[in-house]
Structure 1
Amino acid sequence: MPTVYLKGGETVQVSLENLEDYLYENSDRIEPRRKKLRRPPVDNSARASISNK
Structure 2
Amino acid sequence: MGKDVLGLVVGMALGFAGWFGGFGAFLLVAALGGLGYAAGRHTERGGDLRDLLVTERRQR
Q: What's the TM-score once normalised by structure 2's chain length? A: 0.28
Larger proportion of helix: 2
> Which one scores higher on RCO, CA 8 angstroms, separation ≥ 6?
1
Q: What's the TM-score once normalised by structure 1's chain length? A: 0.30
User: Larger Cα Rg: Structure 1 or Structure 2?
Assistant: 1
